[in-house]
Amino acid sequence: MNQMLVGAIAMASLVVSLVFLRFWRSTGDRFFLYFALSFFLQAFGRVVLGSSAIQDEDTPLFYLIRLVAYGLILLAIIQKNSGSSKDN
């Protein structure tokens, strides 16, 4: 059951990543690109978790992947609100 949930979360993250990638391609706004990369990293982390022998999410690798993904979201929000992005 746990493997199925990890797979479903990975698939959902990948779909959300593709939606944000489509928005980025149509608008050219880096905000959507950062969100697409973030959700792709989260999907990648779930795939690694589901396919590895390690079934414990408390290992530093999975925390590092999430930290980078959430950092990208934070960076996108900061850049969008600061107005320093040339393609707002």
- Walk along the chain (88 residues) and give the pLDDT tens digit of each residue: 688 898 999 999 999 999 999 999 999 999 999 999 999 999 999 999 888 877 777 788 889 999 999 999 999 999 999 976 555 5
Give the model's pLDDT for residue 12.
97
Distance CA 82, CA 26 (A): 22
Give the model's pLDDT for residue 1.
64
Give the model's pLDDT for residue 50.
86
Other CB atoms within 10 A of residue 14 CB: 17
Give the model's pLDDT for residue 58.
78
Let me know: does 67 contact 75? Beta carbons within 8 Å.
no
